[in-house]
Amino acid sequence: MKKSPKNPMRTRYEQRAKRRKTNIILNTLIAIVIIIILVVGGSIFMGSDPDESEGESLKTEETNKKEKIVENDKKDGKRTDKEKREKEEKSSDKAEREDEETESDSKKVVVEESDDPNVEKAITNSGWEPIGTEQGNGHVSSFDKNSLDWNEKVKAISYAVNIPEEDLIIWFIGSGSDPENSAIGTVSTKDQADVYRVYIEWTDGGGWKPVKVEELKENDKK
């Protein structure tokens, strides 16, 4: 039995339908790919990765911290240099004042030799002042150890030798050339290594004032 020949019109129609279907599928796939590309590209170029953004933020914060540290270090350095200069200037001023005071004191103090064979050296100081007094106008020189005048004599002697009263041994206090207004005292340190003869004079309203100190070789009042 012979097969009937194919219809050429039908065959061309089926081929066109098949190509059309294939084109639809291809176009659909291309559209999907384009959409995916647009989505991914948009997320890359328009959006930002949270982790990347956070990393950039941390980098910026770290950079700012470093800049602040550098700036603070510069300020601290300037402040330190300024404080150092001020400290050096103050030290210099203090040293100059001390030098001036020392020079002034050295001009006030006069050290001399003595004809007394028991005197190591005699010292006078124009800077000595009266020690003050609680006595009124009716001053009377007293050698009573319980009297106010005696205590003020001891105070003046302590001031002259620059040794506290509690660190002195009082060996003798007696009248000077003017019995009422001058006195002489012999004192030593507690260990008796240093012995002094001190001359004091009374000034009205001011009290007893040292006028001379002699460093003795030996204690002549033992």
Quick one: pLDDT at residue 167? 96
Q: What is the pLDDT of residue 218?
A: 96
Residue range 141-165, pLDDT digits in tens: 999 999 999 999 999 999 999 999 9
When pLDDT is averaged across residues 91-117 and rounded to a whole number, the result is 75
Q: Does any domain span residue 57?
A: no
Whether residue 125 sits in one domain with residue 36? no
**Tens digits of residue pLDDT in 18-65:** 778 888 888 888 888 888 888 887 777 665 554 555 556 666 777 777
- Domain count of the chain? 3
Nearest in space to 213 (alpha carbons), one of 187, 189, 193: 187
Cβ-defined contacts of 190-199 (< 8 Å, 24+):
192/219, 195/219, 196/157, 196/160, 196/161, 197/119, 198/156, 198/157, 198/160, 198/161
For residues 193-205, average pLDDT: 96
Query: What's the Cα-to-Cα distance from 162 to each of 93, 177, 219, rounded to whole Å?
Result: 27, 24, 19
Same domain, yes or no: 152 and 172: yes
Mean pLDDT, the chain, rounded, equals 83
pLDDT (mean) for 90-97: 72
Decide if pLDDT at 5 tops 60: no
Looking at the fold, whether 120 and 148 belong to one and the same domain comes out as: yes
Instruction: Please tell me which residue, 7 or 30, carries the higher pLDDT value.
Output: 30
User: pLDDT tens, 200-210?
Assistant: 999 998 999 99
Q: What is the pLDDT of residue 2?
A: 47
Beta bridge partners of 201: 182, 209
pTM above 0.85, yes or no: no
% pLDDT > 70, the chain:
78
* Same domain? 139 vs 198: yes
Same domain as 123, residue 184: yes
Which structural domain range is residue 36 located in? Answer: 11-45
pLDDT at 91: 75
User: Span 118-123, mean pLDDT?
Assistant: 96
Pair 191, 143 in one domain = yes
Q: What number is the average pLDDT over the span 103-131? A: 88
In this structure, the answer to whether residues 131 and 199 fall within a common structural domain is yes
Domain endpoint, select from 79, 107, 135 = 107
- Please compute the mean of the pLDDT values over residues 172-182 and round it to a whole number: 94
Q: Is residue 119's pLDDT more than 80?
A: yes
Residue 61: per-residue pLDDT? 74
